[in-house]
Each structure stands twice: as C-alpha cells, then as structure tokens.
Amino acid sequence: MSNIFAEKDWDPLVDLLRNEVQEYGGLYNLLERQQEEIFKRDPQLVLDTNAEIEGYMSDMGGLRNRREAFVREMARECGADEDQPLSKLLAHFPDFMRPMLQALVDEINHMIRRTRHKARQNFMLLSRTMEINHETMQALQPGNFNKTYTKKGRVGVKTQMPSRYQAFV
C-alpha cells in the first residue's frame, strides 16, 4: 500500500466525482419539478418530465460507469482488488487529498439517498392519484368495473367499455 497516486491520477477522478454530485443535484431538481406537476394535476407535464428524468438517469448511468471504470483502473495500478469501492482506496492518496475525496463520496451517497426518497414519494403520489381516479370512475360507472385476481394474487380490474363505444354487430 505504499503506492500513492499523483495529481495526474486524482484530477480526473475529482472531476468525475464533482460531475456526479452535480448530476444527482440536477436529477433531484427534476424530481422536485415532477412532484409540483403531480400536485398541479397536469398529466402531460408529468409525462414530459418523466421522459426527461429517464433520459437524465441514462446519462447519469454512463457517468457512473466511467467513474467506476476509472476507480477500477486506479485499483489495478496500486495492486488492490478491482472491486473495492473508492473509499477503500483512499489510503493510496496523499493525506491532504483524502478529506476532499471522502467528502465527495459522502455527498454522492447523500444525494443518492435524497433522490431515491424523492422518487419513492413521487411514485406513491402517482399511485395514489391513479387509485383515486379509478375509485372515482368506479363510483360513477360501477357496472363497467369487475374485480379479478392476477396470477400473483393481486387485485386486478377489468373494465368494460360503455355500450356507446362497442361496435355494432
């Protein structure tokens, strides 16, 4: 463990980590916007933002993959296990670099937790909105909804089209 990385080694890593923190912040802001749109009850805005979120997450996956590949390469260079997380490789960095790298890793982990929490909130809001919508439709047109069970034991609902939409035979 005597191999200590030089500035040429950690500069790209620091840039990758900073970009990842920034991108998680952007994703969190998109999730915030989506939540506001859910409360506004504008389905088109929600769908548009959802598409934007999916694209953003795909881009973030590429950024995370680049960072992970870079960390694997650094682990190889110092003879460590390639599957070790960056936090386990901090001992190979100069003392003055460790706190900054640890802070970036901690911030990324914090942002991951925040975005997952916000995504779960939005999912629950959307699920509840759909549930309320379904219950309202069922109350307005009770004859058009039959409850059944899916193969997994969940309640499924089959709807029947109102007679005015059925084809004439």
d(CA 64, CA 58): 10
Mean pLDDT, consecutive 10-residue stretches, the chain (169 aa), reads 70 94 94 90 86 90 93 88 88 90 95 94 84 70 67 62 40
* 81 C-beta neighbours (distance < 10 Å), count: 10
Count of domains for the chain: 1
Q: What is the CATH number of the domain that holds 36?
A: 1.20.58
pTM of this prediction? 0.72
Residue 35, domain extent: 7-144
> With contact defined as beta carbons under 8 Å apart, do 29 and 36 qualify?
no
